[in-house]
Structure 1
Amino acid sequence: MLRRSSFLFSLLLIVLLSLGATAQVLQPTKLSTALSKPTAKVGEELDLIVTARIDDKWHLYATDFDPDLGPTVFTFTFAKSPAYELVGKPKSIGATKHYDDIFKGNVTYFEKTGRITQRIRVLQPGPLTIKAETEFQSCTDVDGRCIPGEESLSFGPIEVTGTAAAPATPAPAKGSTGTVVPAATPATATSTASAADTAATTAAAAATTTAVAPITEAAPAAATAPAAALAAPATAAAAASSQGGSLWGFALLAFISGLGALLTPCVFPLIPMTVSIFTKGSANRQQGILKAVFYGLSIVFIYVVVGLLTTVLLGADGLNLISTHWLPNLIFFVVFVVFGLSFLGLFEITLPHGMVNKIDAQADKGGWGGVFFMALTLVVVSFSCTGPIVGSILAMAAQGERIQPVIGMLGFSLAFALPFMLFALFPTWLKGLPSSGGWLNTVKVTLGFVELMLALKFLSMADLAYHWNLLPRDLYLVLWIALSGLLGVYLLGHFKLSHDSDLTHLSVGRLLMAVLAFSFMTYLIPGLFGAPLPLLAGYLPPQSRSDFSVAGGGAAAVPTSLPSAQCEAPRYADFLELPHGLSGYFDLEQAKRCAKAANKPLFIDFTGHACVNCRKMEATVWSDPRVLKRLREDYVVVALYVDDKQELPRNEWYTSAHDHKEKTTLGKKNADLQLTGFNVNAQPYYVLLDPNSPADLSHTLATPVAYEDNVSNFVKFLDAGLARYKQQVAAR
């Protein structure tokens, strides 16, 4: 009986372990295909439709953002055929756009469901089945995991009637590549949903990117659905709700900027003067209040029109270009520098006097039209002070959603107009206003320093996206430290600028502002020596090599030498690097040879460029001296990026035993290794391995670890692996 119970217990344990191992392979995104119509005549166009069903609390990156940001963009690679041609680029229907502080740019993604369409034009009669390869990435914010995915899809058959037509643009020759599509973080295998899932698909429009290249044969995906069965869900509301948090935050920022604009020399003195016109120049108090309210609403209307014009003139494609391309970011950098220098008093930005005089003449005519032109006069006259602030809001708005310029101008103008309406309602409040004076210029100069600091953000975005290395983290921090320090010294009255009045005494408000400036400067200084500065993670370039070092090593230490003289120089080190000055490899076979020569175990880091939790682990766990010491002295470190697009040498291409697809890039090779060897497709994932053993789960030195932000537990993991390795070496 005891023997039978032991057997049953062992069997149950094996089953549970098997289930646990199987559960490691995550498939948060499932794809299905459909057609906008099942039949077409030669020369007609139709849409290929992909529906994505996404697990709860996961998101799938869409098609229309800059692939250089980091996450993997959803991309297609279509088979070459004379029977059809692509029309335009893929379009993501109802995707959410969001500015990501980690990647310093806008990304688009789907939650729960997603639809992507690609329009084609049919060119030859007969039944047509279209095949395509897809690459995509799904991530979750719950624990930071990201799953790369690739799948073979099939659309059709499409019944094409009529006479053959010549293609408008020739299809790419076999082996060639058309427009290269961006990518977002890794994503793994996905399964095709049933044809029933396709009934909820629709053909609509949105911006995206696409790739055209030959594909390998694969199993067909889902069946098609007639156009009549396709129904479009209400996706706009879902997208708006997910964007709501960022829009509210931006509106609040714009509102605060409007309040700041009131405290400038061009605006503040106008408040009591303007209100007195309404209170004294009206037939009765009620009329004065109505005119003041209309005056305020006119200000709001004028600024909102500016926001609408920005949106209309730029359009969706223009806003997306501004948020990702290097040229607009450099232009914004220059504009912010110009605005900042203007606030510091180097020059004034003013509109032509002729325009101002004409608008002022209209305001003198009186009546409700005169009130509107009074509001327009205020906007124009105060431009030298409000222009840089308004321009900054519009520049930041252009980095976000299409509606953000309107939201920004609405928030700014509400704050800007509010005092005029409130003081008209309660004129006795005017007595409590401080008198105009030098403090107004102090506010203006403070805003100038802030503008110069914000300018660096735009230069950094272009620098990071195109790998120019013009503004590394150290230089960025040095400039911010210098600017915040100069602001603090200025506020203490140790130097004056051109429009400043004499400072007879130091006010409490000015002293408190100086304390804030010096506190910010002090907070930044440790960042020069490797401190992660988490409060500013979304504004600073990522940590890498540093011009500064700490005695005894540290997060910014210079890379150490390889563990053994027999070790080779690492491949891919010209564009990949390990954090905190660690030396190591980016190719497993190289790392194995080095580990054997150095008689050390391997520390395998399955990671990704767009893996947020990977960066968090490096910043908070790897940076701990206990962890760094062990990684440097006890292990040979190898970082295997599962989403890197570097093409492998042709003689290293191979067909995976797992999915029978050819692996041609460094990222696909590493993702395949993680999946086939360890039955896991999420990152980060850390494996300790004897270099003499196969790279699979049965030969690990300790149970592999995913995201583990407890430093003590991570140290125990490293110590356990080292102890096990020493036991194996002693037993040989």
Structure 2
Amino acid sequence: MMRIIALLLFMVVLPFGAYAQSDDNPVVWEQEINKISETEYELVMQAKILEGWHMYSQFTSEFGSLPSEFTYNGNGSIYELIDGTLESETIKEYSDIFEVEETYFKDDAIFTQRIKILDPSINQIDIDLFFQVCKEVCIPMDKKFIFTLDGSKAKELITTVDDRSLVLGEKLRLDLKNKELLTQGQDNISESTNIWVIFGLGFLGGLIALLTPCVFPMIPLTVSFFTKHSQKKSKGIINALLYGFFIVLIYFLLSLPFHLFDSVDSQILNSIATNVWLNLLFFFIFLFFAFSFFGYYELTLPNSWANKMDAASSKVGGVIGIFFMAVTLAIVSFSCTGPILGGLLGGTTLAEGEVATNLTAGMTGFGVALALPFALFALFPAWLNSLPKSGGWMTTVKVVLGFLEIGLALKFLSNADMVGHWGILKREIFLGIWIVLGIAMTLYLFGLYKFPHDGPIKKLAVGRKLTAFLSLAFTVYLILGVTKITHLKLLSGFPPPEFYSVFEQESECPLGINCFQDFEEGLAYAKEVNKPILLDFTGWACVNCRKMEENVWSDPDVFPIIKNNYVLISLYTDDREELPESEQFNFQFDSGRVKEISNIAQKWGTFQDVNFNSISQPFYVLLSPDLKVLNTTIQNSDIPTYKNWLLEGLKNNN
């Protein structure tokens, strides 16, 4: 299964033409020419390959990764090849993905080609090389070699963009002063904190999964099996603890294939997470999950999978057998855990930081919560007597989860709506649908209607009544938010921002602050009024951006500083609106890599990457009108820290 996931991810990533380290090139080339005689020369092309990477031989299997291919321009007319292109020592290894033996180079590769000159007047040999370099994903690359026959070092031609693109590309590069501040005081605390938040959410999801009918009955059954079927009590406890460990391990391993994205071009993950069609796909998947929780159908993995795992656990026995038992649990419980894990996967695309790292943290937290009762009840088997009996309350848990799935599904529809500028799901409409869901869930919990898998309701349990009142309170809170009696700060980042409203707004900027969404326009205004710039890298689908705006920017001590003392430039790095044709161009990085800039997201995302070596949002920079960096950059922050950061910038501007 892991192999299938890895292959699918490889197929998804490869078309993007991913690059490993932003502007860094994983392969550096050197070349030399050796004169053999008056008409014969030896051309040598040597590659230094970055540690952890490898590039493929000319002779690797045609059914695997792409081989290196040389094109000798002028061969047969001005010169001819003597034999083929020779290679230095290679490595052969079987590929699980392509199921063939592949031939590749690590650390370095040397190619040698002898030629015979046919036209004595020529002084230059041009060679084009296409090759593939891989780490966890593969990057197709091109290289041009130019050899001069007098032995001088050839010049590499990397310019592949026209003059117009070069001019437009240079406008994206800022001549920043005091640039060393950009590498100081980076807000790394928020990222580590964010990982623990994701772990906590995963742990909470695992606890909820324990209350579902697919998992809950398995706890006493499994613990009893280990404690009663072991010759020694200590052996049974060890086996149960090992069982719990394997549950955590399985969910941890399921997240690892997503780390294939770690080596992708810096903006690929942001592009995927804010992609309109991917968000729509998440929306429909969550609706599908929700109706399975409502009891209209059941999600299950093929029964043959569970049967094979169960048979393997019985046949093998020992530690390996316990591992297969844990795999069997993961498969059998999928109908209940699948939608929760889907929510976890979707939630990681809304969180700041590395998607793969977030997912690993969440999946590990989920596995820990799921494994915890098996370990605890093995240590303290008497606690089993205190467990509530299985019953209709577990069905109620699934229905409540169904309502929550629909609420989360709307967030992805909202992302697609804002990024695509459709204007369909404005803030009031979004909250209105959440209010309807809240009312529907409240009425269900009070027993006023049922779903297909609900049994007869004789008496409402205390827990169900308490949940109903909580649902009612949350619904009232939403109503107060729509009517502007409260500001819904507890939900910051989930509903669309206040300026994305059905009612006409003075400004399409956060909190009604006058802002610019084009850097050059904002810079010109800053020079005109002689005010410093608050450069805000943000996104329509950025949850943490909304939290900062609604919780920190709105504070009475912070808001007037931004409004009165700074020129706000908000650049949306997930805006898919096409640029006018006259503003579209190809941007050339220092490494020679060329990137197409055709929409707003590509323009401002590249602008952020090139000038500030960052691709995360929110991301804030303070600049003077003459492009002096006024303070260190900052991301998520509390109110006092952000206020002091702004004031320090004003002080440094004087």
Q: 1:134-533 maps to which residues of 2 (within 5 A)?
A: 161-164=152-155, 167=157, 171-176=160-165, 189-191=176-178, 243-312=191-260, 316=264, 319-365=269-315, 367-368=317-318, 369-397=320-348, 400-530=354-484, 531-533=486-488
**Counterpart Cα distance in 2 of 1:647 and 1:313:** 27
Offset at 1:265?
0.8
SS of residue paired to 2:283: helix
Q: Deviations over 1:142-187 (max 9, x none)?
A: xxxxxxxxxxxxxxxxxx952356x4x762221136998998xx98
Q: 1:7-156 maps to which residues of 2 (within 5 A)?
A: none
1:547 to 502, 519, 522: 502
Q: Deviations over 1:679-716 (max 9, x none)?
A: 9989xxxxxxxxxxxxxxxxxxxxxxxx999xxxxxxx
- Residue pair 1:319, 1:402 contacting (<8 A) in 2 also: no
Which stretch has the larger CA shift, 475-484 or 306-315?
Answer: 306-315
Q: TM-score, normalised by structure 1?
A: 0.51
- Residue pair 1:45, 1:121 contacting (<8 A) in 2 also: no
**Counterpart Cα distance in 1 of 2:462 and 2:226:** 35
SS of residue paired to 2:254: helix
Q: Deviations over 1:72-122 (max 9, x none)?
A: xxxxxxxxxxx9x9x99xxxxxxxxxxxxxxxxxxxxxxxxxxxxxx9978
- Residue pair 1:40, 1:161 contacting (<8 A) in 2 also: no
* Overall identity of the aligned pairs, in %: 36
Offset at 1:251?
0.9
Q: Closer, same or farther in 2 for the Cα pair 1:394/1:412, shift >3 Å?
A: same
2:40 aligns with none
- Residue pair 2:300, 2:334 contacting (<8 A) in 1 also: yes
- Could you tell me which amino acid in structure 1 is paired with residue 487 of structure 2? P
Q: What's the C-alpha RMSD, in Å, of the aligned pairs?
A: 5.6
Q: Closer, same or farther in 2 for the Cα pair 1:501/1:171, shift >3 Å?
A: same
How many residue pairs get aligned? The number is 455
**Counterpart Cα distance in 1 of 2:365 and 2:549:** 37
2:508 aligns with 577
**Counterpart Cα distance in 2 of 1:482 and 1:540:** 15
- Residue pair 1:44, 1:121 contacting (<8 A) in 2 also: no
The runs of at least 4 aligned residues of structure 1 exceeding 6 Å deviation read 33-40, 42-47, 119-126, 178-183, 238-241, 579-587, 604-607, 611-618, 644-650, 677-682
Offset at 1:518?
1.6
- Residue pair 2:497, 2:510 contacting (<8 A) in 1 also: no
Q: Deviations over 1:583-604 (max 9, x none)?
A: 99999xx9xxxxxxxxxxx9x9
Offset at 1:370?
3.3
Offset at 1:35?
12
**Counterpart Cα distance in 2 of 1:471 and 1:278:** 52
- Could you tell me which amino acid in structure 2 is paired with residue 273 of structure 1? L
Q: Deviations over 1:401-451 (max 9, x none)?
A: 433333222211111111112212211111111111100111111111111
1:58 aligns with none
- Residue pair 1:343, 1:448 contacting (<8 A) in 2 also: yes
**Counterpart Cα distance in 2 of 1:164 and 1:584:** 46
2:489 aligns with 534
Q: Deviations over 1:221-254 (max 9, x none)?
A: xxxxxxxxxxxxxx9xx99866321111111111
- Residue pair 2:177, 2:627 contacting (<8 A) in 1 also: no
Q: Deviations over 1:317-357 (max 9, x none)?
A: 67555323333322222222211221111211001122222
**Counterpart Cα distance in 2 of 1:355 and 1:462:** 36
Q: Closer, same or farther in 2 for the Cα pair 1:299/1:125, shift >3 Å?
A: same
**Counterpart Cα distance in 2 of 1:278 and 1:192:** 62
Q: Closer, same or farther in 2 for the Cα pair 1:529/1:300, shift >3 Å?
A: same
- Residue pair 1:532, 1:619 contacting (<8 A) in 2 also: no
SS of residue paired to 1:176: helix
Q: TM-score, normalised by structure 2?
A: 0.56
**Counterpart Cα distance in 2 of 1:649 and 1:292:** 64
- Residue pair 1:298, 1:375 contacting (<8 A) in 2 also: yes
Which stretch has the larger CA shift, 525-534 or 270-279?
Answer: 525-534
- Could you tell me which amino acid in structure 1 is paired with residue 367 of structure 2? S
- Could you tell me which amino acid in structure 1 is paired with residue 502 of structure 2? D
Offset at 1:459?
2.4
Offset at 1:614?
7.1
- Residue pair 1:607, 1:614 contacting (<8 A) in 2 also: no
Which stretch has the larger CA shift, 608-617 or 467-476?
Answer: 608-617
- Could you tell me which amino acid in structure 2 is paired with residue 547 of structure 1? V
Q: Deviations over 1:248-300 (max 9, x none)?
A: 11111111111110100111112112222122222221222122122222222
- Residue pair 1:578, 1:639 contacting (<8 A) in 2 also: no
**Counterpart Cα distance in 2 of 1:426 and 1:403:** 34
Q: Closer, same or farther in 2 for the Cα pair 1:349/1:675, shift >3 Å?
A: same
**Counterpart Cα distance in 1 of 2:581 and 2:321:** 73
- Residue pair 2:533, 2:625 contacting (<8 A) in 1 also: no
- Residue pair 2:279, 2:416 contacting (<8 A) in 1 also: yes
**Counterpart Cα distance in 1 of 2:438 and 2:570:** 40
Q: Deviations over 1:473-507 (max 9, x none)?
A: 12211122221222122111111111112222222
Q: Closer, same or farther in 2 for the Cα pair 1:501/1:443, shift >3 Å?
A: same
Unaligned runs of 5+ in 2: 1-22, 33-44, 50-125, 132-140, 522-528, 539-544, 583-599, 608-622, 632-641, 645-654
**Counterpart Cα distance in 2 of 1:193 and 1:355:** 56
**Counterpart Cα distance in 2 of 1:181 and 1:334:** 42
